[in-house]
Amino acid sequence: MKLIVNIHCLGGFREVGRNGVLVESSKNVLLDYGLKVENAGKPKHPNREVDALFVAHGHLDHLGLAPAIYRQYKCPVYVTGPTLDLSNLLLRDSLKIAKLKGMPRHYSATDIVNLHKGEKRIHYGDEIKVGRKVKVDVWDAGHMPGSCMFVVKTRGKKILYTSDFKIKSTRLVNGARFDAKNIDVVLMETTYSSRNHPPRKKTEKELFQDVKNTIDKGGIALLPSFAIRAPELLMVLNDFGADFPVYLDGMAKSATDIFLRHPKFLRKPKALKAATEKVIPLFSQEERNNALKEPCAIVTTGGCMEGGPIIHYIKKLYSDSNSSLIMTGFQIPGTAGRYLVDTNRFVHDNMDLKLKMRMSQYDMSAHAGRDELIKFVKKINPKKVLCMHGEYCKKFATELNSRFELDAMAPKNGDVIKI
């Protein structure tokens, strides 16, 4: 009897969010188990023993339900240092938000504490054994500090799970580095299967000039940011020679601290350290209001302007035509950030403000663009590609089939692929 491997597509297939893949053989390896952030949606349940959970990086759509998995299975949970620290930060925050918004909570604060008992540190280049016969290679995904790709090796097959990745280096992290040989199956994210990103260096230069111009005319440059993006923005400002005060606010502070604690996972740890040494963190409304008295740059969460200190700053600055709102995150349709881009009005809770600030947007994505995805498949040259984590999984699979000699497909949540 030939032994097969079952790939259970639990979540993140033909959608973005709540990633979950179970590789079933002599041992069952779960790759990510995340949450659909906007509605607390879960992946399908593994419905069988889980012998190990590997978390690709510190984002809720990849680790949001790790506490529930550990509570049920008490299995080891493999994470890099940055992912471990971020998980603590994000899981607590997620619980708080779920409570606030009346969304379902799938675990308790105790479950978060317990999770840490199961967490085991991994590093790029590691080969982790699950039982005697299943091995998992850990590679750098280039998505953010501590982000991993995993290769599950079992029953003579090599299954590469990319999770979120980026080939090109950014100021913050090196691009993905991985051993690409003899891969049978790739489970690949396809977030940007339909779009490319502009050249990063040009974007950074324009962004800095935008901040500088604002400050030169006496305004405040307000940079709403996802927590994880903030350190990169600080580096851009410092590397280009910021000669003005730079403030940091919100959860962006903790994320920056976490990355500084893990210099091995950064491309230029000294540059981040240098950037943050000049940065002034803000904690109270009084400090915030003081900061606004002089031209400066403020990097603050949240990136989609749905919460965080950014709300306070917008309230203070919205009518100041000398100040600028400089956005770097993808503005998700349905969010306050996107509504603002479309209408020039900031609408949040019961507040409706007509913006007089100048507004601009820069693409600083941490995902591979369309051409990178295609090059990646060409380089790996696998037998089979399972497209996931995207809006066009099926179409991109069709395109890969027509471009290359391989079997690309776009399974649905709940499908089981036998290899």
Residues in contact with its own copies by the rule CB under 8 A: 194-195, 333-334, 336, 338-339, 342-343, 345, 347-352, 370, 391-392, 395-396, 398-399, 401-403
Question: In the complex with its own copies, which residue's Cβ is closer, 341 or 419?
Answer: 341
Tokens encoding 153: 């090796």
Q: How far is the CB of 160 from its own copies (least distance, A)?
A: 23
Q: How far is the CB of 382 from its own copies (least distance, A)?
A: 18
Q: How far is the CB of 127 from its own copies (least distance, A)?
A: 37
- The Cα 83–Cα 345 span in angstroms is 36
Q: How far is the CB of 347 from its own copies (least distance, A)?
A: 4
Close Cβ partners of 416 (under 8 Å, ≥ 6 residues apart): 6, 7, 8, 9
If phi over 0 gives left and psi between -120 and 50 gives alpha, with beta otherwise, what is residue 163? Answer: left
Question: In the complex with its own copies, which residue's Cβ is closer, 244 or 404?
Answer: 404
Question: In the complex with its own copies, which residue's Cβ is closer, 27 or 370?
Answer: 370
- Most distant CA pair in the chain: distance in Å? 75
- The Cα 81–Cα 119 span in angstroms is 10
Question: In the complex with its own copies, which residue's Cβ is closer, 67 or 390?
Answer: 390
Q: How far is the CB of 100 from its own copies (least distance, A)?
A: 16
Q: 81-101 and 252-260 helices cross at what angle (nearest 10)?
A: 160
Close Cβ partners of 415 (under 8 Å, ≥ 6 residues apart): 9, 13
DSSP H or E stretch at residue 220 = strand 220-224
Q: How far is the CB of 365 from its own copies (least distance, A)?
A: 15
DSSP H or E stretch at residue 280 = strand 280-282
Q: How far is the CB of 74 from its own copies (least distance, A)?
A: 37
Phi, psi angles (nearest 5°) of residue 185: -130, 135
Neighbours of 72 (CB within 10 A): 12
Strand-pair partners of 388 = 189
Q: How far is the CB of 316 from its own copies (least distance, A)?
A: 18
- DSSP designation for 60: H
Question: In the complex with its own copies, which residue's Cβ is closer, 88 or 193?
Answer: 193
Question: In the complex with its own copies, which residue's Cβ is closer, 284 or 350?
Answer: 350
Q: How many CA atoms lie within 13 A of 305 on its CB side?
A: 31
Contact 48/39 with Cβ under 8 angstroms? no
Close Cβ partners of 180 (under 8 Å, ≥ 6 residues apart): 379, 380, 381
Q: How far is the CB of 331 from its own copies (least distance, A)?
A: 11
Q: How far is the CB of 342 from its own copies (least distance, A)?
A: 4
Contact 24/5 with Cβ under 8 angstroms? yes
Question: In the complex with its own copies, which residue's Cβ is closer, 237 or 336?
Answer: 336
DSSP H or E stretch at residue 270 = helix 269-278
Strand 351-354, strand 345-348: pairing: antiparallel
Question: In the complex with its own copies, which residue's Cβ is closer, 109 or 347?
Answer: 347
Question: In the complex with its own copies, which residue's Cβ is closer, 107 or 392?
Answer: 392
Query: 3-state class of 245 per DSSP?
Result: coil
Question: In the complex with its own copies, which residue's Cβ is closer, 72 or 343?
Answer: 343
